Chain A
Amino acid sequence: MAGFQEYEEYDALGLAALVRRKAVTPVELLDAAMARLARHNPRINAVCHVFEGEARARIAAGLPVGPFTGVPYLLKDLYALYAGQPTANGSRFYQGFVADHDSTLVERLKAAGLVIFGKTNTPEFGLSTSTEPALFGPSRNPWSLAHSAGGSSGGAAAAVAARLLPTAHATDGGGSIRIPAACCGLYGLKPTRGRNPAGPDVGEGWAGMAAAHAVTLSVRDSAALLDATAGPAVGDPYWAPPPGRRFLEALDEKRRHLRIAVMTKAPADVPVHPACTAAVEQAARLLGDLGHRIEPAAPTYEADLLRRAARDIICANVRNGLELRGKALGREPRPDDVEPITWAQAEQGRRLSAADYARATQTVHRISRQILAFFERHDMLLTPALAEPPLRLGELSMACDDLAGYLRRLLQFTPFTAMFNATGQPAAVLPFASTAEGLPIGVQLVARFGEEAELLKLSADLEAARPWFGRRPSLQ
């Protein structure tokens, strides 16, 4: 590849510093990103829509001065609206939908100086933890092309792992930032409920369970990006606890010894793969070496009830989403508009009553209190990111209509993430180990509600102790 050779040696803040020093131009960075896109995307299928012309026009018009000025960026193709560009939400039902305004988050990403040049692949409506939409085909894991990149932000994670760019936008309603980060060997932080804006078209996603942020190579990129985008927007229904300082600055704060609970058993007796358990044990030892108090402990809560309530909320929202799209198209949604599993969830959503939905949110809030009470006694929780190494493509197919079987498979793979969408706590996945065949294995850290700063600090310490930046897939 010609042009800026060292592109992959830098994280986003590093690239932005080069641009500020005029060591490299935004056009050269975009060229570097496009060259890698051309080279890798045919194999990994991470990017489903490219708007290079728009990106070049924005550079030519002069970029806003921000912490990331000139750094190439990709949006997940799910509800992150970019005026004038299509948003398909991974669904043929949304083909032809072109936003007439930016999402608030996208406005802020642009104001931070990021150069958005395309959209990354997602399973339909973000409903799977593997990214294999019928519309755009499967995203492949850069570490092994036969394997899933995870989901629902699988396109974003595959793109970053393949070093198309150092960080990409992602969203998480049940683990969708953290799961692909784990599958692709990246850092993925899901922020606190209400931390990043969801508007202007909605006040919250999935009754507050969904959060937007990014998958990144470096912890500091995640922190700086959150600084750039976090904070309530006008008309938001509620707030997250204000952090009181910039997340990036928090990384320099003096550390204190933490009480860290370690959980290796999965809820609902889901078996955990020894490689996933081993990674947690390794991380626990390292945290102990760093001076923290490590104790085996896990929150006790009504896991089955919580999972059912969250599922009810998701199903009702899927159905409502189809109805709204149907209204815009002037017709009723039909089964063949969406993938079979999506339709099955919408049908379940239609069968639920409003009272069921109200009770489901009450249940989520009630059980969340049980889980959050655990964090009165512990500063942090360490868990496996996943219960299995990355799945092979095709193992989690949305092309079947056995909803119960599908959800069971989903749970077996990812039993550790969704509970923190219910509680609204910040949680992050860090790359920590790999399988014998070289697939990444992640661990998850969970902090108290509103305490991304503590989570980022501990993440940065692990990053310093066990750097992962230099580990990259060969993709040859």
Chain B
Amino acid sequence: MAGFSEYARYDALGLAELVASRQVSPAEVLDAAIARTEAVNPKINAVNLKMYDEARARIAAGLPQGPFTGVPFLLKDLGAFYAGFPTSFGSAFYKDFVPRHDATLVERHRKAGLVVFGKSSTPEFGLAPTTEPALFGPTRNPWNLAISAGGSSGGAAAAVAARVLPMAHATDGGGSIRIPAAFCGLFGLKPTRARNPAGPDIGEGWSGLASAHCISVSVRDSAALLDATHGPAPGDPYMAPPPAGSFLREVTAAPGRLKIAVMRRSLWDRPLHAECLKGVEETAKLLIELGHVVEEAAPTLDVAAQSWAFRVIIAANLAANLELRAKALGRKWRPDEVEKVSWEFALEGRKVSGADYALAILIVHAAGRQMAAFFQRHDLLLSATMTEPPQPLGEIDMTCDSVDDYYERQLLARMSVTPLFNMTGGPAMSVPLHWSADGLPIGIHFGTRAGDEATLFRLAGQLEQARPWAARRPMD
């Protein structure tokens, strides 16, 4: 790469500092990001929409002064509206959908000085823990091109892992920030429900299960971005517990002596793969060395009811959104326009009753209360992000015939605890603390009480110092 050759060595705050001190210009940084995209995207297929001219025009027009002024950024191609550019949701049914206004979150990204230069790929409607939409083809894991980058923010994770950029927008309705972060050896934090704005087109995603934030190399980037984007917007239906102060400051604050519960099986009582278990054990050992208290404990939950409720909410929202799109197009969706599993989920969302949806919400809120009680006894819950190491592409199949099989065997069986924190609304993170014998990243998962990102950032900062991962880079 010509030009700004050290681009890949900096995190987003590092790049912003170079820009602020005029050692490099936003245009040079963007050129570096574009060069890197052009070099690696043919291999990893992470960026599905390039907005280079738009990015250049924004820079030429003058960027707002913010914590990330001049830092290149990618939006996940799911809901994060950028006026005048398509948002496909990874689906042929939305292929030509072009929003006329920005999402509130995107407004805040821009106000922070970020330079959006493209969109990152997602499985259709974010419904898979892998990113292999029929519309754009599979995103590949930079650590091994035959392996999935995870999902649904797989494009974002692959792009960051390949150092196309140091931090990319991502969303999480059941693990979609944390899973790809785990698969690609990155840091991914899902914030508390309503911490980041969901508007203006919706008040919440998936009845409050979905949160937006980012996947990043460094912990401090994640914290600083959250500082820049969080807070209620006018017209929001409710808010998150306000933080005590800056998240960025938490990253370097001492976490104190935390009481950490460790789970060695999944919520659904499945054993962890030996590599995932090893990651958990090593992390537990490290936590003890760092002075924390680690104790075996798992929350008591009605997992069967929660799995049902989670499915009802996803299916119903999918159906509602497809109906909305159909109304806008003035026609029904065709079988070749949505993938098989999406189609089946949508049918299910129309079959299940509204009373059942009300019950599903009740169950989700009850999970929040149960976990809140658990977190009165423990500060954190430690587990693996997934029960298995990153799987080869093609194993998770949204074209399969049985939605039951897809949901139970392909989705839930691979998850360890991620959707639980979408139900409770509490923040949770995947930290890249382990690599398998064959060199694939294994994410370690921590979740905590609603509103307490501070504890996560403090611990993540400590872990990042103890076991730095930024220098571990694929495709070098």
Contact = CB atoms under 8 A, between A and B. Distances in A.
B357 A357 contact: yes
Interface string A208-247: 1000000000000000000000001011111111100000
A317 B362 CA distance: 10
Nearest to A314: B358
Give the secondary structure class of A's interface.
Answer: helix
Interface stretch (A49-57, A174-182, A361-369): A361-369
B316 A202 contact: no
B354 A365 contact: no
Contacts of B3: none
A353 B425 contact: no
A353 B316 contact: yes
Contacts of A319: 353-355, 358
B369 A203 contact: yes
Contacts of A354: 312, 315-316, 319, 349-350, 352-354, 356-357, 360
A179 to B, nearest CB: 23
Interface in B199-220: 199-204, 207-208
A353 B351 contact: yes
A237 B235 contact: no
B237 A208 contact: yes
A26 interface: no
Interface residues on A, range: 35 or more
Q: For chain B, what secondary structure do more than half of its interface residues adopt (helix, strand, loop), or is it mixed?
A: helix
Contacts of A60: none
B49 interface: no
A362 B319 contact: no
B54 interface: no
Contact of B357 (A234, A316, A323, A351): A316
A372 B232 CA distance: 13
A238 B362 contact: no
A346 B236 CA distance: 29
A235 B370 CA distance: 7
B87 to A, nearest CB: 17
Interface in A291-340: 312-313, 315-317, 319-320, 323-324
B17 interface: no
B100 to A, nearest CB: 15
B458 interface: no
B353 A241 contact: no
A317 B357 CA distance: 9
Nearest to A232: B241
A193 B354 contact: no
Interface residues of B, number: 57
Contact of A356 (B194, B354, B368, B372): B354
Interface in B290-331: 312-313, 315-317, 319-320, 323-324
A350 B353 CA distance: 6
Interface in B156-214: 193-194, 199-204, 207-208
Contacts of A202: 362, 365
A361 B349 contact: no
Contacts, number: 172
Contacts of A199: 369
A357 B351 contact: no
B202 to A, nearest CB: 6
Given A354-B349, A358-B207, A372-B234, A320 B239 contact: no
Contacts of A313: 358
In this complex, the member of B361, B450, B451 whose beta carbon has the largest number of chain A beta carbons within 10 angstroms is: B361
Given A235-B371, A239-B241, A358-B317, A323 B235 contact: no
A245 to B, nearest CB: 15
Nearest to A199: B369
A415 interface: no
B207 to A, nearest CB: 7
Contacts of B193: 237-238
Interface in A189-211: 193-194, 199-200, 202-204, 207-208
A373 interface: yes
Contact of A207 (B241, B361, B425): B361
A315 B354 contact: yes
Given A315-B354, A323-B359, A353-B349, A362 B369 contact: no
B365 A320 contact: no
Nearest to B193: A238
B23 interface: no
B240 interface: yes
A72 interface: no
A96 to B, nearest CB: 22
A368 B13 CA distance: 37
B199 A369 contact: yes
A291 B406 CA distance: 65
Contacts of A234: 369, 372-373, 376
B91 to A, nearest CB: 17
Given A203-B369, A237-B208, A354-B352, A193 B358 contact: no
A358 B208 contact: no
A203 B199 contact: no
A355 interface: yes
**Which 3 pairs show the lowest CB-CB distances between chains A and B?**
A203-B365, A365-B203, A352-B354
Interface of B: 193-194, 199-204, 207-208, 232, 234-242, 312-313, 315-317, 319-320, 323-324, 346, 349-362, 364-366, 368-373, 376, 425, 450-451
Given A357-B358, A358-B320, A376-B234, 5 more contacts: A203-B368, A234-B372, A319-B358, A354-B350, A365-B202
28 contacts: A203-B362, A203-B364, A208-B237, A235-B369, A235-B373, A235-B450, A237-B425, A238-B194, A238-B239, A239-B238, A240-B238, A240-B239, A241-B239, A313-B358, A319-B355, A323-B359, A349-B358, A352-B353, A354-B352, A354-B353, A355-B317, A355-B346, A357-B354, A358-B207, A358-B313, A362-B320, A373-B234, A376-B234
Interface of A: 193-194, 199-200, 202-204, 207-208, 232, 234-242, 312-313, 315-317, 319-320, 323-324, 346, 349-362, 364-366, 368-369, 372-373, 376, 424, 449
